Chains A and B, each alone.
Chain A
Amino acid sequence: VEDVLRLSDGQVRLHTGTLYGVLDRLREVGLIVVDREEVVESRLRRYYALTDAGIARLAAETERMRRNANAAASRLRPAEGAI
């Protein structure tokens, strides 16, 4: 949750219920697995890891978003020049 907040410059504040809903769905479709569990301050803490399918999917999504961003940037450059 803190990582998401930091990576998004405070723009995305993930709620606990939403986070666990997403984790459940990702686990159901086999994109993540429980990596390990630890007890911290007498409370269970669970760590998740991407599966091979999850890594492949993340790479594909990253590439798709990069292409979209590149396409947007290429449209933006001539417009900036015109200004």
Chain B
Amino acid sequence: MRCRRDTPRTDGGARREPAEALERRYRRLLAWYPAAYRAANGDDMLGVALARSASGQRWPEPGEAVNLIVSGVGERLAGMLRQPDHRDTAAVLAIAGPVLLAAGAVRTMASPFLFTPAIPILVAPHPTLVTAIAFAPWWTLVALAGMLRWRRVAAAGACLGLAGQVVMLALTVSGYAGALMVAYWQAAVALVTAASALGSLRSQGRPLSWRAVTALAAAAAILAGWPAVDVAFVTYTPITANSGTISDPLSGIGGWLGDGLFAGTMILMLAAIAALRPAVRRRAAVLLLPAFVTTTLACWACWAFRGFLPAGPPFGLLVLSPLQWQVLVLVPVIGVVAGLIGLRLYERLLRRRSDRAG
């Protein structure tokens, strides 16, 4: 209710104002719940929330506000996973994520063995190497558990793997900029993997056909083996104890080679998606499209990021340019959020079509 300034406020109006403000704020918090849920329970919930508030209270308690937001978001996510097709899509992501992470870890693990030890700048930092040795078999086992439909094992493994990736991220904040980039992106993929694994607990179907598994494994092999192709013909000839010459006969076509491998990986990933069940394929495509587009654009826009090689001068965060910061922080977030919004719009479109047909 709005009062004119020159109108003296009555006692009743003064009493009502905090209550109305509180109700308005609770309604805003309830907007975090899905519309259908609000229609069924909104009034009732509002009554309970107001009944537990103190007289004259104008703002919801912080704990109550956080609880309503978290519960509302949880209800939205749970609503998405009530559909079997969504659960099956989550089961696919719960396998694809660990495959990607395992490929990245193998790649990091292999780097020191591929480069000659006489070129120390190219060798992966030691902690990164140690964690990669742990992460490569771990994520491989999580992917296998998902393939074998050991859903609880896969979910537990994905959650523990996520915890490990977050620890890794925290450890790299003060270290190499390259390692930080790798750790952040890996943590984002691990988060999606863990959420998908938890969301697929009640999935019934076989998540991936053998054709899709073959395509995904081939894409992972290219990702993991990329550095090997890059340095396959690099030779180092020592001249003195501390110096030498590096010969790279492929340096002229290095860019084309990288583009070819990147394109090959993407084609194989698309082949893996194409081999999915149509209902799952469409949802996976809608979910992954923003991540695919933003990552591709980011890779092309920022040459230094291509390959996510854990290297770079040891000056922590300071060496990152604003563009690199945007890529580092925003791309995974945009990818995930836009994917979820896209899926929601797609479901709305399907409902409309079904209503028209009915």
Contacts and interface: CB of A to CB of B under 8 A. Distances in A.
A41 B51 CA distance: 12
B43 A16 contact: no
29 contacts: A1-B48, A1-B51, A2-B51, A15-B63, A15-B64, A15-B67, A15-B68, A16-B52, A16-B64, A16-B67, A16-B68, A17-B67, A17-B68, A17-B70, A17-B72, A19-B48, A20-B41, A20-B45, A20-B71, A40-B47, A41-B47, A43-B44, A43-B46, A43-B47, A44-B43, A44-B44, A44-B47, A45-B47, A46-B41
A8 interface: no
Interface string B85-127: 0000000000000000000000000000000000000000000
A16 B74 contact: no
Interface of B: 41, 43-49, 51-52, 63-64, 67-68, 70-72, 74-75
Given A43-B46, A43-B47, 16 more contacts: A1-B48, A2-B51, A15-B71, A16-B64, A17-B68, A17-B70, A17-B71, A17-B72, A18-B71, A19-B48, A20-B41, A21-B71, A21-B74, A21-B75, A40-B47, A46-B44
Question: Chain A interface: which size bin?
Answer: 10 to 19
Interface centre among A16, A18, A40, A44 (most CB of B within 10 A): A16
Contacts of A41: 47
Contacts of B45: 16, 20
B354 to A, nearest CB: 25
A18 B44 CA distance: 14
Nearest to A17: B71
B104 to A, nearest CB: 37
B254 to A, nearest CB: 55
Given A43-B43, A44-B43, A16 B48 contact: yes
